[in-house]
Amino acid sequence: MQVQSYINGKWIEGSGKTTQLKHAVNGSIVAEVSSIENSFDQILKYGREVGGTKLRQFTIHQRANMLKELGKYLTERKKEFYKLSAWSGATKGDSWLDIDGGFGTLFTISSKARKELSNKSFHLDGGVEELSKLGTFKGRHLMLPLQGVALHINAFNFPNWGMLEKFSPSFIAGMPTIVKPATQTCYVAYGIVKEIIASGILPEGSLQLISGSAGNIFDYLTSQDVVTFTGSQSTGLKLRQHENVQRNSIRFNMEADSLNSSILGSDANPDSVEFTLFINEIIKEMISKAGQRCTAIRRAIVPSKFVNEVIKELKNRISKIIIGDPSEEGVMMGPLVSHEQVSEVGIRAKEIQKSCELVYTQNENVKFRGVGISAGSFFSPTLLYCKEPMTSEEVHNIEAFGPVTTVMSYKNIDELCLLVKKGNGSLVASCFTNDDSFARKVVMEIGSYHGRLMIVNRYCSNESTGHGSPMPQLVHGGPGRAGGGEELGGTRSILHYMQRVAIQGSPTTLMNISDEYVKGAQTEESIHPFKKYFEELKIGDSLLTERRTITEEDISNFADLSGDHFYAHMEDELSKQSIFERRVAHGYLVLSAAAGLFVWPDPGPVLANYGLESLRFIKPVFPNDSIQVKLTCKNKQVKEGDQNGVVHWDVVVKNQLEEDVALYTLLTLVKRKDF
């Protein structure tokens, strides 16, 4: 296979230095890649001017729907991608994490965006801020797409998931992407990007692929660009310190390998469910991707009283791990990605042993299962023990990026937390305990050193997603050694690629800019807004109703109908003891009466009530008070592919003194004229 790059709207083969890529299982050459020598400034320019311009013409929901369709398209073709993944030494389970996990991220981020973000080309961040006494000068925050390119530099271990978990949010945000996969496994990213381009789902210029070296692309980045990096801490620091990145304050999100911990609670004795769950998790993290995961467990921290039992059980379980060609029946762990990685892991494991002892590793002469795999990149699972973890440095500073885990013990919870924090920031830690008090103390003490904490006990273990599995709904990243960055986290990840800008002005100006009604803005009254189809409604269309007097009879009848006979509504004498000091109307009676004032009774475009949001009862309504309602079209949201849209109405209910008594947002389904 000749791995190509996709730049400036076309596929090209590199003309620079050629690198041969080998099958991790048998050492055969599976692909070649050559670095491109094109002008990298033109690649960036194409992304900004072609991709960015086109992407920003769509709304967030439209971009999210494209992502959903892409997920469907790729899922239908995933068998071919599994074949490519196998070249890297991945087992079927490893490939599932990378391939299906990546496609699942497309669906999740798309869904979260459509549910939680504005259906505009930008996002409204929070509500309106009152900046003046009379309300003629206000402010609010907008999230606008950055007008640059997102450059994603990915690691070798998850060539699909790592690519799509970064691409998804940047695409929905409205930023074009340049993907730079790690050379060792770039053939996987190449195969998937090839299908993405062939699908025709994405606007031209929204995705480019650089295979091989990224050359001097950093020299041409601007303040509107974003760089994300996943990989080693040393490489990440070097890139983040690039002169151009520093000079232009270019956003740089770094997710580095870290010394993640798994903790066995002091309550989890060898006969407990949690003890078994802990052992299972350690083994799973050692063999998954052959330990080549940035979230893998590097430090297993256990109570001193259980350390012998933990080591004994781990040795027993490691001895049963079958290593070899993942296509062979019964193989549990495949090879590392390359011979270079085997050498690197071996060197790092030796360095850790300066303050730790080798407890167990399968014999170096062990026969790995499979035929013709003598040239494969195999490395045996290795268990170390650190006897003095409070004074040892290597175990808290050096990572062997493979199936290598070190056991260490703690005397009490304070020592436990100190040991965890010696890792100087991690992506994840897990804690296996059935003592929620213990778990809370651990979380409160070590939480600020981590991006994610997983607490597992017998009640959640069957559905636990695992120590090493970042979920698209939750943030992925961590402070300190872990890079100080943050990815995923649902819609949080999308906002990383947008600029928050505060705008100030009159209510009407803010309404016209944000395309959402702002209290105090000029409104327009013509025909009853409930008579208008979705397309005909304009932001600011309004209705001021007639008045209605709420009587004691209304209150009594509503109580009988609803069954709500709360004393403050029913008894003159008893109601004097309430905070209202006299009989008061039900809040929901006020809402029902308000609806009776503004609802258009005849058949029309309004199909149904869709719900209420942000309801507040501001002042009580007493018998013989009269109410009046102002209904204003606040926002509109198209339901893609449906015959209706959702209209948000600003509702203000006032009494005869022109005081607000109830405020809320009403949602209705309104028919679209074209259906």
| Residues 428, 440: Cα–Cα separation, whole Å | 16
CA dihedral 37, 38, 39, 43 (to 10 degrees): -130
Contact (CB, 8 A) for 202 and 66: yes
Of the residues 186, 294, 417, 431, which is catalytic?
Answer: 294
Indicate if 417 belongs to the active site.
Answer: no
Of 262, 470, 294, 292, residue with least CA distance to 381: 292
DSSP 623: T
Number of other residues whose CB lies within 10 A of the CB of residue 427:
28
Which one of the listed residues 165, 186, 255, 633 is annotated catalytic? 255
Q: Strands across the sheet with 18-22, in order?
A: 2-3, 29-34, 18-22
3-state secondary structure of 53: helix
Q: Which amino acid is at 490?
A: G
- Burial of 528: CB neighbours in 10 Å, binned 0-12, 13-18, 19+: middle
Mapped onto helix, strand or coil, the DSSP state of residue 21 is strand
Chain Cα centroid distance, residue 80: 27
Between CA 660 and CA 627 the distance in angstroms is: 10
Residues 264, 430: Cα–Cα separation, whole Å:
9
Is 340 among the catalytic positions? no
Whether residue 301 contacts residue 416, with contact meaning beta carbons closer than 8 Å, is answered with yes
Please count the other Cβ atoms lying within 10 Å of the Cβ belonging to residue 76.
Answer: 9
Relative orientation angle of helices 60-75 and 78-87, to the nearest 10 degrees: 70
- What residues are annotated to the active site? 255, 294
